[in-house]
Structure 1
Amino acid sequence: MDELKILLNDLWEVLKDIAYFFTVKLFSIGNSEITLITIVYLLISVILLNFFSNRLSKFIGNTVLKKYTTIPSTAQSVSTIIRYVFLIVGMMVIVQTAGIDLSALSILAGALGVGIGFGLQNITNNFISGIIILFEQPIKLGDRIEVGDIKGDVLKISARATTVVTNDNISVIVPNSEFISSTVINWSHNDRNVSFRFPVGVAYKEDPKRIKALLLEVAAENPGVLDSPAPDVLFDEFGDSSLNFFLRVWTSDFTSRPNILKSQLYYSIFEKFKTNNIEIPFPQQDLHLKSGFTQTNKS
């Protein structure tokens, strides 16, 4: 019995030492004393806040908003904004429940503002640009965009950067500020229907009306070409070696793969012209020699 009391007393002393270790003052922020247990509380709370904000954002975007909108980009934008609001409000609640005097953080906020002005301005710029993108939606999930030398489909819009996937399945991380400060070509801003013009040249002896009819047949036979708006053939110019046309087609299946559609149409055009004996010219140059050259007699 005495041994049990001694063991319990020793255990009690150890627990008091541990409690003292966690409650001893490390530093102060204003009138608030920061202890190890305060730091542990903050870390656990922030991790849980981030976890639940992600789950809440996905639940709202994938379940709630699907009942009110069929546009994935709109649901993603709203759910992301809700997540930011949840994080900001949650951080304020966590700091207050930890017993930290928020008024004492004004000096820290001022110093942080100076740091943002000098060292973190790019991060801040990208974050604010991300908020603008989510609200104004100049680009959306699934859009076919072109910014600088990058062409691809928008896969993800986050707080700092946007992920663009190219036709080679390469993910390119583009800072959000690029979409605000640079010229961006959005091929599918309103819808996925886009128009392409493919040049075609034939010999001068061919009938332009017949060429137009054959090119329209090729367009009509391709399942990737839309019937409405209808394909068209434009007579572009009298070239040096050929009559030049443009086959103009509309497509929604090949918005992100125009070269594939171009290849399919050119294969079909070649076969169609071959079957109908249409000559496809190649550049030619005639050399005319003027008279007056002296002839040398060979002995």
Structure 2
Amino acid sequence: MQAEATPTPTATPVEQAWSLAETAPEQGPVAAAEGIKEAVSSKSETVGSIVDTLDGLALSLGDFRISLFDVLVVGSIIVGVIAFAWFASKLARRLVRRVTRLDGTQQLLAEKIVSIVVWAAAFFLGIDLLGIDLTALAVFSGAFGLAIGFGLQKTFGNLIAGIILLMDRSIKPGDVIAIADQAGNETFGQIRKIGIRAVSVTTRDQREYLIPNENLMINQVENWSYSSKNVRIQVPVGISYEADIDLAEKLMLQAAKDCDRVLSAPPPTVWMSDYGDNSVNFIIHCWIQDPEEGVGNVRSAVLKKLWWLFKENGVEIPFPQRDLHIRSSDQLDRLLEIMDRKDAAKSK
């Protein structure tokens, strides 16, 4: 016969409940439920009768018995553990943000690691409070591990990939990367958030792409701000064959330098690219250090300033044109002669 533990008079009700739970035989899914019931009943007969009523509403399947009181205890413990984990995780993230020696990427990595540790500790705390024997879950844990290996492989792969990306700092919040949509059109966007499963990238037109962390780790990524945020922009320009090339180059450089976002170092440069069908083609190379603010608007500003500079200095911007050469023939001469006769007859 197993001796029943007697609560000490100076102990609190919660301490008495856990003391009874440790020595009481496990009845039902919650070992602590019996101890809590005994502790509450010893303090108040009214509360004890309510507890007995709740415990009497039970479902029995063979040796397995679960009552409404057990369900309430389990629910209270689960809610309490989740609330504790949420509060502890939030408090830990605030403490990490106060560590000024860590930059943004290191803080984000530390917050994720602390959150994982807190929730893992809360899980095992809940297991202990529920009185579940972990050795009895050996078969379940094996099946759960097998399910993780097959069903949740991508989820855990993305979780580990996100941590690795933050550790080697190859991808971090604020970076500007080039991405391609489903149609294959390439655009660029800024990384707003690195989550547990995916990276949030927002483009200039406020389209938000959710890219799995694993894709960014195993695939080639064009990061415009990995080691430096300086980005070179190319602005194509064509001038007439009759224009002054030296004057046109000076005006191109002046248009680039007059833009506020264009850097003075490295300075803008102008290269002749080729002789086109209708124009002599040049490319203006200029540098910016804030690609997250857009690239097309800088190109537009340079072209607008260059438009007025070309007009003020008489540099012609060509338009498509073709020279048509008609070979002479007897049939063509006869046709022209007939047309001339018709025109003469109409004039009379």
TM superposition score category, shorter chain reference? 0.7 to 0.9
Cα deviation for residue 82 of structure 1 reads: 2.3
Q: Aligned residue for 1:68?
A: 101
2:179–2:189 Cα contact (<8 Å) kept:
no
2:229–2:291 Cα contact (<8 Å) kept:
no
Q: Secondary structure at the match of 1:53?
A: helix
Map 1:140-289 → 2, pairs under 5 A: 140-149=172-181, 151-289=188-326
Q: Secondary structure at the match of 1:197?
A: strand
Cα deviation for residue 184 of structure 1 reads: 1.8
2:237–2:284 Cα contact (<8 Å) kept:
yes
Name which of 120, 140, 159 aligns with 1:127. Answer: 159
| Highest RCO, 1 vs 2 (Cα 8 Å, sep ≥ 6) | 1
- In 2, the alpha carbon distance for the partners of 1:79 and 1:43 equals 23
Q: Which amino acid aligns with 1:14?
A: I
Q: Aligned residue for 1:32?
A: none
Q: Aligned residue for 2:116?
A: 84
Provide the TM-score with structure 2 as the length reference: 0.73
Q: Number of aligned residue pairs: give it.
A: 283
1:193–1:255 Cα contact (<8 Å) kept:
no
Q: Which amino acid aligns with 2:196?
A: A
Cα distance 1:9–1:60, how it changes in 2: closer, same or farther (>3 A)?
A: closer
- In 1, the alpha carbon distance for the partners of 2:129 and 2:307 equals 75
Q: Which amino acid aligns with 2:307?
A: F
2:88–2:118 Cα contact (<8 Å) kept:
no
Q: Secondary structure at the match of 1:107?
A: helix
User: Is residue 52 from structure 1 mapped to residue 84 from structure 2 by the alignment?
Assistant: no
Q: Which amino acid aligns with 2:272?
A: F
Provide the TM-score with structure 1 as the length reference: 0.83
2:161–2:213 Cα contact (<8 Å) kept:
yes
Any stretches of 5+ residues in structure 2 without a counterpart? 1-43, 65-69, 182-186, 342-348
Name which of 36, 42, 51 aligns with 1:15. Answer: 51
1:152–1:256 Cα contact (<8 Å) kept:
no
- In 2, the alpha carbon distance for the partners of 1:264 and 1:184 equals 29
- For each residue in 1:84-117, what CA deviation from the matched residue of structure 2 results, as whole angstroms up to 9, or x when unmatched? 2332233234323433222333322221232233
Cα deviation for residue 124 of structure 1 reads: 2.5
- In 1, the alpha carbon distance for the partners of 2:168 and 2:133 equals 37
- In 1, the alpha carbon distance for the partners of 2:82 and 2:326 equals 87
Q: Aligned residue for 2:137?
A: 105
Structure 1 stretch displaced more, 96-105 or 188-197 = 96-105
Name which of 111, 114, 135 aligns with 2:146. Answer: 114
Any stretches of 5+ residues in structure 1 without a counterpart? 1-7, 30-34
Percent identical pairs in the alignment equals 29
Q: Aligned residue for 1:5?
A: none
Structure 1 stretch displaced more, 115-124 or 260-269 = 115-124
Cα deviation for residue 207 of structure 1 reads: 2.9
Cα deviation for residue 197 of structure 1 reads: 0.8
Point out the structure with max Rg over C-alpha.
Answer: 2
- For each residue in 1:136-188, what CA deviation from the matched residue of structure 2 results, as whole angstroms up to 9, or x when unmatched? 22211111112322631111111111222221223332222221233322111
Q: Secondary structure at the match of 1:228?
A: coil
Cα distance 1:86–1:289, how it changes in 2: closer, same or farther (>3 A)?
A: same
1:60–1:79 Cα contact (<8 Å) kept:
yes
Structure 1 stretch displaced more, 35-44 or 274-283 = 35-44
The CA RMSD over aligned residues, in Å, is 2.8
Q: Secondary structure at the match of 2:314?
A: coil
User: Is residue 96 from structure 1 mapped to residue 128 from structure 2 by the alignment?
Assistant: yes
- In 2, the alpha carbon distance for the partners of 1:235 and 1:249 equals 15
Q: Which amino acid aligns with 1:215?
A: M
Structure 1 stretch displaced more, 160-169 or 86-95 = 86-95
Name which of 124, 137, 150 aligns with 2:169. Answer: 137
Q: Which amino acid aligns with 2:143?
A: A
- In 2, the alpha carbon distance for the partners of 1:49 and 1:228 equals 51
